[in-house]
Amino acid sequence: MHPRRRPASARTPASATLGSRPPAIKELLHLGRPDEAVGHRSAFQRRGRLRGPGSEPLHGFLAHNAPVHDGRQEPDDGRVVGTPSFGVTAAGAEVMDKLSRGLMDGQLLTGILPGAGDLAGRLAAGARAADVGCGTGHALNLMARAFPASEFRGYDFSAEGIARARAEAAEWGLGNVEFEILDVVELAADPPFGVVFAFDAIHDQVDPVGVLAAIHRALEPGGLFLIMDTKASSSLENNLENPLAPMLYAVSTLHCMTVSLAHGGAGLGTMWGEERARQILADAGFDLLDVYDVPDDPMDSVYLSQRPPTA
């Protein structure tokens, strides 16, 4: 039996506040002055990706990618085995950090983890947990601080991201988290992990099947795997009413797909969608336990799966 999508809460979803017509993507992104009010914008700013002091983090992401958009930079420039240039340079790491930090600060401990069954309880009791594609490590540092009985490991290609993650952990005085530069297809299975996280990372992988196989091997039987990724369908026609779809397809073709395709990879892209995610998880041997929305975030879904207890 396949779990059905579970909404974040009984509250009115952000998409329901958009009125009778989907707003133009320019309105949603608010490409004018930062201090101008846009009627459709507030629901998307509350806790999610379009929020930021002064200018939106998502604007910075798009602006940083502009050289690819207008042909001044080749799509595969600055990429190392599928790692985008955002993580290679200091400026790029800053953009990616700001893109996710607001969401993690607002929702990780109060929305994402509480929705994931007994995952938070396992962390509170003490578990060995990993974050693959951890970037600047902010999500893992938040969890390490909140769950001192657990041991956390963060893995990423980006030396710049790992350096920032280590610096924040040191600043916070965390002794239960470590970060390592690693291709996650080489993730060690001994000792095994009880929990693995992947926040907006799987769709960029050159070899997503290999990555999921490595995660499956690295999890103890009964271990949990939490993916947070783009909320979308795998079918274009099912995304026509999604007001964020034009932007997300553009980002996918001009950034996320090229990250993978530049190295002959799968090219899942930003809009790989729920149907594809379910299939890939099943093919990798995971039991999907739940799919749910992130509160106040119209851009993301959470997939909670498990390595079967007898596997």
Tokens 């980002």 belong to residue: 251
Which positions ≥6 away from 44 have C-beta within 8 Å? 14, 28, 50, 51, 298
Which stretches in the chain have pLDDT values below 50? 9-57, 75-87
Tokens 């350096």 belong to residue: 163
Q: What whole-number distance in Å separates Cα of residue 228 and Cα of residue 90?
A: 25
Domain spanning 52-67+77-306: CATH 1.10.8.60 = no
Six-digit token pair at 150?
A: 């657990």
For the residues of 215-269, what is the DSSP string, one character each?
Answer: HHHHEEEEEEEEEEEE---SSGGGGTT-TTHHHHHHHIIIIIHHHHHTTT-----
pLDDT digits (tens, 9 = 90+) for 87-107: 456 666 676 777 778 889 989
Q: What single letter denotes the amino acid at residue 219? A: L
pTM (2 decimals)?
0.76
Q: What's the confidence (pLDDT) of residue 162? A: 94
Parallel, antiparallel, or unpaired for β 177-181 and 151-156?
Answer: parallel
Q: What's the confidence (pLDDT) of residue 95? A: 66
Six-digit token pair at 273?
A: 């969608």
Q: What's the confidence (pLDDT) of residue 278? A: 92
pLDDT digits (tens, 9 = 90+) for 149-179: 999 999 998 888 999 999 999 999 999 999 9
Q: What whole-number distance in Å separates Cα of residue 104 and Cα of residue 83?
A: 22
Q: What's the confidence (pLDDT) of residue 119? A: 98
For the chain, domain boundaries: 52-67+77-306
List residues bridging with 197 in a β-sheet. 131, 226
Half-sphere exposure for 149 (CA within 13 Å, toward CB): 8
Parallel, antiparallel, or unpaired for β 193-199 and 128-132?
Answer: parallel
Q: What whole-number distance in Å separates Cα of residue 56 and Cα of residue 31?
A: 10
